[in-house]
Structure 1
């Protein structure tokens, strides 16, 4: 959310060195999917169109590399979308990595949806709401003690945080449909019904920073994993110590790279 795939070039190259082909997918309204800067943060009105876009990329990967197994990795907002995508569309993947996810109580996500709809009715779909930003991502940074920047919640890597603040692709306020989609997916994937729709025999890795506000410093991850393990037999869990939200950009990211490469090697054949 409010970033783009090129921020993860170091990770992609590290995986290349381990023998993996990496294909990055920017959500609509992010990175170069936007035709110009004014289109950054502009989402389609229907959340399902975002899932359609993920499905198109999956199909392209299948066509381009028919002989290779596919590991789907969803990070942050992408993790919510991937959880929904795998549950509802049953894509032909061999393993799933759910990274830096959340498991917010549904009464909160329902309230967020109602608030978003009220703002939409008053301001319209093109409105970029500072109120919703304040209540969502800004609240994560307020949980960091002695923060130096507005994005310290992302990681303890000051160089990465400064690069984010200077990057024009990371400096937009989302439009109403983007927030509506985020809250919609958050609400949907929090339900046991949707969790149970994820294929039971699919190898799944849930990985998160120990100090990630989105995962409630591990508490939200525990709730999600408990529900997931009740109906799935191939669940691995990794909590990265001394790490916040962006574990792929953290100070200790090399350890995470090695762990991910090892896990994929062991699990990508189903």
Structure 2
């Protein structure tokens, strides 16, 4: 894995992780989730590399080495994060088909980006995602806005963290840790908890940015902007609280069916939690993902 510096549209310098391949069949870009970082996806990147897929990944603003921690930007953070996705694509082989994989918050970013630039993609993969009416997102954005008036946009909010995540562990009581909702694999949970770049709080402005993005992508109009012929792969666990315990991904598949997307693959893993790429059956998840990728490529 190499680290290659690129310059964002606003002149910020950031690193793209690159797993090059001498003769790639495809290029996969990974977008990580909230309060984690892209190097957690190294096992998947190495697996795909062994099968002829070049991989690129970068940390979103406010994540990994990109400070301040938990904060996209003071203004227009969502659009700056989307622009970084395009900038990162400067790395790697532009002559092979490009696939975009987003996990959790990264899946929301991926959907928003694909609505703007989906013609550049050969396929869109969404992990640990969700779909629901935007009412709750409007409420969350309003709460974050009110708190920002009192505490400032860069304030790292324990209140928003509690409101968003406090209930996630309830289905898994008695829980060993506060993050059992991530995976049934205790080693993966312990690694997450022991990683100083994981589990951090996020700023009130970031929460407003994310809720604004969720409001956008929850509308059928946004889904219609994604090319109807683009192959879509939706996967997650049926015990993922982000995906409303198996309801969110089928609702997303139904949305895409309603908007004319006829190449949608939905895979729900029984008993799987939020991070299927770090689950007890991660090898099955990797192989299923690779099989889907192979189906989208010329023989």
- TM-score clears 0.5: yes
Counterparts of 1:139-154 in structure 2, within 5 Å, are 139-154=167-182
Matched-pair contact (CA < 8 Å) for 1:104–1:186? no
Matched-pair contact (CA < 8 Å) for 1:95–1:268? no
1:48 aligns to 2:76 (yes or no):
no
The structure 2 residue matched to 1:176, chosen from 200, 204, 207, is: 204
Matched-pair contact (CA < 8 Å) for 2:132–2:251? no
In structure 2, what is the Cα distance between the partners aligned to 1:77 and 1:183? 10
Q: In the TM superposition, what is the alpha-carbon distance from 1:104 to its structure 2 partner?
A: 3.1
Question: Which residue is equivalent to 1:258?
Answer: 287
Q: For the aligned residues, what is the CA RMSD?
A: 1.3
Indicate how the Cα distance of structure 1 residues 29 and 268 shifts in structure 2: closer, same or farther if over 3 A, else same: farther
1:26 aligns to 2:72 (yes or no):
no
Q: In the TM superposition, what is the alpha-carbon distance from 1:91 to its structure 2 partner?
A: 5.0
Matched-pair contact (CA < 8 Å) for 2:249–2:266? no
Matched-pair contact (CA < 8 Å) for 2:138–2:215? yes
Question: Which residue is equivalent to 2:145?
Answer: 117
Question: Which residue is equivalent to 1:234?
Answer: 263
Q: In the TM superposition, what is the alpha-carbon distance from 1:233 to its structure 2 partner?
A: 1.1
1:197 aligns to 2:198 (yes or no):
no
In structure 1, what is the Cα distance between the partners aligned to 2:278 and 2:154? 31
Indicate how the Cα distance of structure 1 residues 13 and 175 shifts in structure 2: closer, same or farther if over 3 A, else same: same
In structure 1, what is the Cα distance between the partners aligned to 2:164 and 2:102? 19
Question: Which residue is equivalent to 1:103?
Answer: 131
Aligned to 2:268, the other structure's residue is in SS state: strand
Q: In the TM superposition, what is the alpha-carbon distance from 1:142 to its structure 2 partner?
A: 3.0
Matched-pair contact (CA < 8 Å) for 2:242–2:274? yes
Q: Structure 1 or 2: larger strand share?
A: 2
Counterparts of 1:208-219 in structure 2, within 5 Å, are 208-219=236-247
Q: How many residues align?
A: 262
- Deviates further, 175-184 or 159-168: 175-184
Deviations 1:51-70 (A, max 9, x none): 11111112x14xx3022111
1:9 aligns to 2:42 (yes or no):
yes
Deviations 1:161-197 (A, max 9, x none): 0111111111421111211122112111111111111
Q: In the TM superposition, what is the alpha-carbon distance from 1:144 to its structure 2 partner?
A: 2.5
Deviations 1:37-79 (A, max 9, x none): xx21121131111111111112x14xx3022111100110000
Gaps of 5+ in 1: none
Matched-pair contact (CA < 8 Å) for 1:192–1:227? yes
TM-score (norm 1): 0.93
Gaps of 5+ in 2: 1-33
Larger RCO (CA within 8 A; separation ≥ 6): 1
TM-score (norm 2): 0.84
Q: Structure 1 or 2: larger helix share?
A: 1
In structure 2, what is the Cα distance between the partners aligned to 1:41 and 1:91? 31
Question: Which residue is equivalent to 2:250?
Answer: 222
In structure 2, what is the Cα distance between the partners aligned to 1:91 and 1:125? 35
